[in-house]
Amino acid sequence: MRNERTASGSRAVGRRRTFRFARLNCSLPRSFWFAWEALSLVSTTLKCMQYDDDEEEKQEEQKEEAEETMQRFRLQRLAAAVRHQATKSGTWLEGELNLDTNMVHAAVTPEPKSGAILTPLFLSTTFIQESVEKYLDKGYSYSRTNNPTVTALEEKLAKVENGFGSSAFGTGMAATTSAISATMQAGDHCVISDCSYGGTNRSCREFFTPLNMEFDFVDFRDPENVKKAMKPNTKLVFSETPANPVLSLTDIEAVSKIAHEAGAKHVVDATFATPVICRPLDWGADMVIQSLTKYYEGHNMMTGGAVISKDKEMHEKVKWVQNVHGNIINPFAAYIILQTSKTMHLRMRKQSENAMAIAQFLEKHPKVTKVVYPGLASHPQKALADKYHRDGLHGGMLWFDIVGGSEAGTKLMNVCQRPWSLCENLGATESIITACAVMTHANMLKEDRLKVGITDGFIRISCGIEDSADLIRALEVALAQI
């Protein structure tokens, strides 16, 4: 309304000025008066537009002031909340915590009576019930089903892996067989990596196949191979990334999509990566397998395994298998892993750093013919490693071949001195050198083993947290004897 009044008023003033001017200059031609009227109208319009611009600018200023007021109000509320929380020791900071913090604190609740900072160790086999009517009111009855210490570990695993829930087992192989049992039955089909842990390979061939389950071992480096192997009765796609021991990688996102389009589940054994480097559930996988014996425990003391599920339905199926098979982790092992896993993120960084230094040394050594490590530019799937591996970390595992083939490789492992230890296992604080052909993958069929490149002289190393210079010097001394 104000704009209209202003505009009409301006037009009236313009007309009066025109008429006065006309009385003084009545001899001017008609075209002059048309031009004069047009100029007057343009002048008035420009003034109105200027007014509108001023109004818009004023409204913008008022909007900014309102937003600033709301922001001050929010900050005041936050400050009040912080002041309120600061008076309560033991309360948690609001919001999501980062992985490093969760590795230390996830699922850890101080014992209420004493205030002990560590999750207590409950070694009891059974738990007293208040009454028949209140059976299981406290959530526990018998430690084969669940146990408070085990529950704490399972909750921690679910948190750091970004899962709905987890089930902890006595070994990594117990976790693997439970994941298969939870998803397959007689007549079902599974597409599985042709290069996976030897125990997994053997279990599929010698245990599940006689139960009328079908397994196709496929090269997972190309998702198209997985797609071509899918069948109408495929219920499970089983990948391992990085694969043990050849360190080939799986495109988790692509393979998950292939599995889901066929109505199958995708389980990923991510033992070599751990959640510090890769969390497959974030990329579409349905389950993650971890051999807790390795990086989680990390000190060569305890065995353990876990299946972390993305949703409630899958979690309950795995939990049912855990209870029926009775292969739950024992409370003492769970207690130890709860403590040792608190430093896993620190160890993984040091182990990745050592592995990179050793890989670069070996790559330049004249007696080394091949080095495979996901962090090297020479790794054939380096782009995939960079996509899935977090913070530029690629783990503590690598392998290499040397001049002289299997015989020379075997000799090197026999002469390599401490701090290297010739043994099985991986992911521990100690650096380990392993002859996969006669140790971890001895149960594979020889033709299958050779097909994926695991020769008799195949040298797999797991880097610990020692000084990399000492580890390199020991390898240098051993190589000099070849």
Of 151, 396, 155, which Cα lies nearest the Cα of 274? 396
The tens digit of pLDDT for each residue in 451-481 reads 888 888 899 999 999 999 999 999 999 999 9
Any domain includes 40: no
337 and 359 in a common domain: no
**Amino acid symbol at 72:** R
241 within a domain of the structure (yes/no): yes
Cα–Cα distance measured from residue 355 to residue 352, given in angstroms and rounded to the nearest whole number? 5
Q: Is the residue at 269 inside a domain? A: yes
d(CA 87, CA 459): 57
The verdict on residue 422 lying in a domain is: yes
DSSP 121: -
pLDDT at position 79 is 67
Is residue 32 one of the residues assigned to a domain? no
CATH number, residue 361:
3.90.1150.10
The mean pLDDT value for 27-40 works out to 57
* Residue 15 pLDDT greater than 80, yes or no: no
Tens of pLDDT along 86-113?
557 888 888 899 999 999 999 988 888 8
pLDDT of residue 25: 47
304 and 375 co-located in one domain:
no
Question: Residue 430 has what pLDDT?
Answer: 98
Q: Is 171 in the same domain as 255?
A: yes
Q: Does 349 lie in the same domain as 337?
A: no
Whether 232 is covered by a domain: the verdict is yes
Question: Does residue 459 share a domain with residue 440?
Answer: yes
Query: What's the rounded Cα separation, in Å, for the pair 218 and 238?
Result: 10
Q: Are 299 and 400 contained in the same domain?
A: no
121 and 172 assigned to the same domain: yes
Say which CATH number the domain at 271 has: 3.40.640.10
Residue 4 confidence (pLDDT): 45
**What is the reported pLDDT for 171?**
98
Query: For the chain, what is the domain count?
Result: 2
**264 and 353 share a domain?**
no
- Residue 239 belongs to what H/E stretch? strand 234-240
Residues 280 and 167 in one domain: yes
In a domain, 191, yes or no: yes
Beta strands (DSSP E) in 85-213 are: 165-169, 189-193
Among 321, 341, 361, where does a domain finish? 341
* Higher local confidence (pLDDT), 311 or 15: 311
Is the domain of 415 the same as that of 443?
yes
pLDDT of residue 441: 87
CA geometry: angle 15, 16, 21, nearest 5 deg: 95
Structural domain harbouring 278: 99-341
Residue 20's pLDDT band (boundaries 50, 70, 90)?
very low
**Is the pLDDT reported for residue 347 higher than 50?**
yes
> 74-83, 98-107, 351-360 — which one is most confidently predicted on average?
351-360
Q: What is the 3-state secondary structure (H, E, C) of 433-468?
A: EEECCCCCCCCCCHHHHHHCCCCCCCEEEECCCCCH
Mapped onto helix, strand or coil, the DSSP state of residue 270 is coil
The angle subtended at Cα 98 by Cα 96 and Cα 104, nearest 5°, is 110
pLDDT score of 142 more than 70: yes
Residue 415 and residue 285 in one domain: no
Clarify whether residues 144 and 261 are in a common domain. yes
Which of 326, 341, 356 is at the close of a domain? 341
Determine if the peptide bond prior to 210 is cis (ω within 30°). Answer: no
Quote the pLDDT of residue 14: 47
Average pLDDT score over the chain: 89
pLDDT band at 243; cut points 50, 70, 90: very high
User: 142 forms bridges with which residues in the sheet?
Assistant: 126
Sort strands 189-193 and 265-269 into parallel, antiparallel or unpaired. Answer: unpaired
Who contacts 396 (Cβ-Cβ below 8 Å, separation ≥6)? 295, 348, 351, 352, 354, 355, 426, 427, 462, 463, 464
Choosing from 341, 357, 392, the residue where a domain stops is: 341
Residue 331 lies in a domain: yes
